[in-house]
Amino acid sequence: MILHTVNKSPFERNALVSCLGHAQAGSSVLMIEDGVYGAIAGSQVADVVNNSLATVKIYVLEPDLAARGIAKEKLISGVQLIDYAGFVDLAADNTTVQAWL
Amino acid sequence: MKFSIQINEGPYQHQASDTAYLFTKAALEKGHEIFRVFFYHDGVNNGTRLTVPPQDDRNVIKRWSELSKQYNLDLVLCIAAAQRRGLLDENEAKRQGKDAHNIAEGFRISGLGQLIEAGIKADRLMVFGD
Amino acid sequence: MSEGTIKKFLYLNRKAPYGTIYALESLEVVLIGAAFDQDVSLAFVDDGVFQLTKNQNTKGIEMKGFSLVYNALGDYGITKLYVEKESLEERGLTLDDLQDVVYEDENDDYAEKKSILLVSRAEMGQMMETQNVVLSF
C-alpha cells in the first residue's frame, strides 16, 4: 500500500483533496509541514477528511502541528499523531511513498 | 531498510530540506540505511558553503555536512540543476571558466542518473519539495 | 529487490509548465531515466494536464518551449502517459485540447499508436497503487 504525504495547506492548494480522491482503501495519508492544517475539525475540508477516514488511515506529524500552535483537541477525531520516528515506520511499513507536491 | 531521499527545494525558503533532514536522521537512528540524498531543482542550493545564517538559527547546510560525516552519507547535487543556479565544484568551475567554486563539505555534483539509480537501489524513495 | 530487477517508475506531474521549472526539470529526469530500462509511466493530474496542451508558443516569454518533447518520448521507449479525465474537465479542457502524442510499436510492425491513456480518477488511483517508485516534482 501507498503512504501518501501532503505538505500544503488545503486552503491554498488542492493537494489534500486530490490525494484523498485518489487514495485507495487501506492506504495511509500523512500530513506534514503546512499540510497539518488539513486536520483541523470544522474546516471547509473537514467533511472530505472525515469521509476518507472510513477507508484510509490519516496521520499528522506532531512536531509540525506543535510548531503551528494547533492544539490536539482541535483535530478531527480519528486522525493519529506521530513523530519523525513514526514517519520512518510508516514509510517502511507501506510499499511505496508518494508525495503530493 | 534502504531509503533514498530527494529534495526539491532550497534551504530556508521552504521547509522541505528541514523535514528531509529530520526524517533522514530519524531513519539513521533507527538503524536504517540511507542509500543517497539527491538534491534537485532549487534543492541544489542546500549545497553551497557560502551561506551565513543568523547565529540563533539552525545552519541547514552545515547540518547536512555534519550528518554526512557522521554516517558517511552520499549527498549529490544534480549537475544540470546546479549549473543553472550557480553551484559549482572545483572541476566544474575550471571547466566552465568560472572564477570561484562553492560546494560545501560532504556534497558532490553528479548527473540525474544518480537519482534514477537511487530509486532503483533503495527500498523506498522519499520526495520532499514544495 | 535484487540487482537487475525492473521497477515500475511513476513520474507524477501535477504542475503547469513555465510558471515554475518543475515540469521542464521533470521531463529532463524522464529522458535520462529512459536509459535505465525501467517500466516507466507518466501521470498528468490536476494542473499537470496543462503540460500537454497543443499549440504552446513560448516566443513571447523568451523561454525555451518543451511541449514537443512529449511527442518524442516514444523514441525513448516511454509510451504510457496517463491523463486524468476529471482533471481535464475541472479545467474546461477535453482530450482535443491536448497534443496527439503517439509512438511506433516495434512489436506491431511499427504501427503508430496513441501514448495518451485517458483514465478516470478512480483508475488513476488504482494505477498508482501498482507502482514501485514515485517521483514527484
The predicted-structure confidence for A50-76, as pLDDT tens digits, reads as follows 999 999 999 999 999 999 999 999 999
Chains that touch C (3 or more CB pairs under 8 A): A, B
Dihedral sign, Cα of residue C20, residue C22, residue C25, residue C26: negative
User: pLDDT band at residue C1, thresholds of 50, 70 and 90?
Assistant: very low
Specify which residues B5 forms β-bridges with.
B37, B126
Q: Which domains does chain B carry?
A: 2-128 (3.40.1260.10)
Instruction: Answer whether A84 sits within 8 Å of B130, measured CB to CB.
Output: no
Size of interface A-B (CB pairs under 8 A): 50
Q: ipTM of this predicted complex? A: 0.97
C111-114/C102-105 β-pairing: antiparallel
E strands, chain B, are 2-7, 33-39, 75-78, 107-110, 124-128
In a domain, C84, yes or no: yes
In a domain, C31, yes or no: yes
Largest CA distance in chain A: 32
Q: How many residues does chain C have?
A: 137
Segments forming the whole domain that contains residue C47: 8-136
Domain ranges of chain A: 2-100
Residue partners of B114: CB distance under 8 A and separation at least 6: B36, B38, B76, B78
User: What are the tens digits of pLDDT across the range A14-32?
Assistant: 999 999 999 999 999 999 9
User: Total structural domains in chain C?
Assistant: 1
- For residue C108, the domain's CATH number is 3.40.1260.10
Q: What is the pLDDT of residue A66?
A: 98
Nearest chain B CA: its distance from C21 CA (Å): 8
User: What are the tens digits of pLDDT across the range C5-14?
Assistant: 899 999 999 9
Q: What is the pLDDT of residue B116?
A: 98
Q: Is the pLDDT of residue C85 over 70?
A: yes
Residue partners of C52: CB distance under 8 A and separation at least 6: C44, C67, C70, C81, C83, C98, C99, C101, C116
Q: Is the pLDDT of residue B44 over 80?
A: yes
Q: Is B115 left (phi over 0), alpha (psi -120 to 50) or beta?
A: alpha
In a domain, C2, yes or no: no
User: What are the tens digits of pLDDT across the range C23-57?
Assistant: 999 999 999 999 999 999 999 999 999 999 999 99
Mean pLDDT over each residue of chain B, to the nearest integer: 97
Q: What is the pLDDT of residue C5?
A: 80
Distance of CA A38 to the CA centre of its chain: 7
Q: Is the pLDDT of residue A39 over 50?
A: yes
What are the chain C neighbours of A100 within 8 Å (beta carbons)?
Answer: 14, 136
What are the chain C neighbours of A101 within 8 Å (beta carbons)?
Answer: 14-15, 22, 136-137
How far is the C-alpha of B18 from the C-alpha of C66, rounded, in Å? 32
Q: What is the pLDDT of residue C55?
A: 96
In a domain, C78, yes or no: yes
Residue B78 designated active-site:
yes
Q: What is the pLDDT of residue C3?
A: 56
Instruction: Answer whether B30 sits within 8 Å of A33, measured CB to CB.
Output: no
- Which letter does DSSP use for residue C137 in this model? -
Least confident of A81-85, B109-113, C104-108: C104-108
User: What are the tens digits of pLDDT across the range B54-79?
Assistant: 999 999 999 999 999 999 999 999 99
Q: Are C54 and C97 in contact (CB under 8 A)?
A: yes
Q: Catalytic residue among B78, B88, B104, B109, which?
A: B78
What are the chain B neighbours of A96 within 8 Å (beta carbons)?
Answer: 124
The residue type at B10: G
Nearest chain C CA: its distance from B55 CA (Å): 32
The C-alpha angle with vertex A1 and arms to C52 and B116, in degrees rounded to 5, equals 55
Determine the number of helices (DSSP H) and then strands (DSSP E) in chain C.
Answer: 4, 7
Nearest chain C CA: its distance from A78 CA (Å): 23
Q: What's A2-100's CATH class?
A: alpha beta
In a domain, C91, yes or no: yes
Helix axes A15-22, C121-129, angle to 10 degrees: 80
Q: Are C121 and C86 in contact (CB under 8 A)?
A: yes
Q: In percent, how much of chain C has pLDDT > 70?
A: 98
